[in-house]
């Protein structure tokens, strides 16, 4: 991997990891035999102490971060919770998150909301719970950072470029991508980011969350509850996602391709410090499908 692309990353994709993809033989449009890489998908059951919470379909990397982030984003791990141990059993495909506080979420687990996405997500309880207490910092967002991030992220070797059928979420600071997570569902990828933030004790107030997927209500809610003030994507928006972003004061930027982007919420953070005409057009080979 080129050093200039990866030098800022604390965690970068591993497109060559054998466990994450497999080679499959088929035929192409001409009838000729072809072999391609396809993404693996496996179940991961998450426990909080002695209670089974959910079984998620995932590519299988960073299971501990995924479990902690999922519980955090569902409101089952509080700000003041002390995680005493995170145990992962590869054979059983189970993660157990243990806390000092005794927990019981029987009623919350009974109430589930299906969320939109190619790999259907699940949210427990009230999706809007806690949003009324969110106060996001009024940090500046320079357009030069957005252009630099889009270029760096779209030229980073990834599972998407290797095999497709996957979403990416990147935690960034100014013009530096820091942690790049991928998974079959955008909700899994962002949960891994949330787990990393919680486990590593990283402050979210000066961060940007970049996603390759749509800016849905789920993505907006998770970003706001994580305390991250900016959410950006090369894909489009949903109306409810934009409405919630405006309610909570989240900067929401989509359709980021080359020199172009659209801001539908949180415009007040934008500092236009770079002439768009000086930004080169995006290379076709690095483009991600906008429908994802």
How high is the mean pLDDT in each 10-residue block of the chain (292 residues)?
74 90 94 93 94 92 96 90 96 96 80 52 63 91 96 90 87 97 92 96 96 91 95 95 96 93 97 91 55 38
DSSP H helical ranges for the chain: 3-6, 63-73, 106-110, 143-154, 159-163, 186-200, 217-225, 239-248
Give the per-residue pLDDT at 110.
66
Which of these, 65, 63, 53, 45, lies nearest to 202 by C-alpha position? Answer: 65
Provide the CATH number for the domain formed by 141-286 in this structure: 3.40.140.10
Give the per-residue pLDDT at 109.
76
Altogether, the residues listed in the chain come to a count of: 292
Count of other CB atoms within 10 angstroms of residue 104: 11
Cβ-contact 288, 254 below 8 angstroms: no
For the segment(s) 42-126, the CATH number from 3.40.50.1820, 1.10.3720.10, 1.10.443.10, 3.10.20.10 is 3.10.20.10
Same fold, 42-126 and 141-286: no
Which of these, 223, 230, 234, lies nearest to 292 by C-alpha position? Answer: 234
Give the per-residue pLDDT at 288.
45
Give the per-residue pLDDT at 235.
93
Give the per-residue pLDDT at 281.
79
Structural domain boundaries in the chain: 42-126, 141-286
Give the per-residue pLDDT at 48.
95
Give the per-residue pLDDT at 133.
86
Give the per-residue pLDDT at 116.
46
């Amino acid at each position: 991997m080129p050093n200039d692309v990866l030098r800022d990353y604390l965690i970068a994709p591993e497109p060559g990891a054998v466990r994450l993809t497999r080679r499959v033989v088929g035929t192409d449009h001409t009838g000729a035999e072809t072999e391609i890489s396809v993404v693996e998908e496996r179940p991961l059951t998450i426990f909080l102490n002695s209670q089974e919470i959910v079984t998620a379909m995932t590519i299988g990397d960073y299971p501990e971060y995924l479990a902690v982030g999922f519980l955090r984003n569902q409101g089952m791990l509080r700000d003041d919770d002390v995680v005493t141990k995170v145990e992962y059993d590869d054979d059983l495909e189970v993660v157990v998150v243990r806390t000092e506080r005794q927990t019981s979420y029987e009623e919350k687990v009974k109430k589930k909301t299906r969320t939109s996405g190619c790999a259907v997500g699940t949210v427990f309880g009230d999706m809007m719970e806690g949003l009324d207490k969110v106060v996001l910092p009024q940090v500046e967002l320079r357009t030069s950072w957005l252009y630099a991030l889009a270029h760096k992220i779209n030229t980073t070797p990834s599972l998407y470029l290797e095999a497709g059928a996957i979403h990416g979420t990147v935690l960034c600071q100014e013009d530096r991508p820091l942690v790049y997570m991928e998974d079959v569902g955008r909700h899994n990828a962002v949960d891994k980011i949330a787990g990393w933030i919680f486990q590593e004790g990283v402050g979210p107030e000066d961060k940007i969350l970049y996603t390759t997927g749509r800016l849905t209500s789920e993505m907006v809610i998770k970003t706001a509850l994580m305390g991250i003030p900016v959410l950006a994507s090369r894909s489009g928006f949903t109306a409810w996602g934009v409405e919630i972003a405006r309610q909570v004061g989240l900067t929401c930027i989509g359709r980021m391709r080359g020199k172009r982007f659209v801001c539908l919420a949180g415009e007040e953070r934008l500092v236009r410090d770079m002439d768009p005409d000086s930004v080169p057009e995006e290379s076709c080979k690095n483009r991600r499908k906008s429908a994802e």
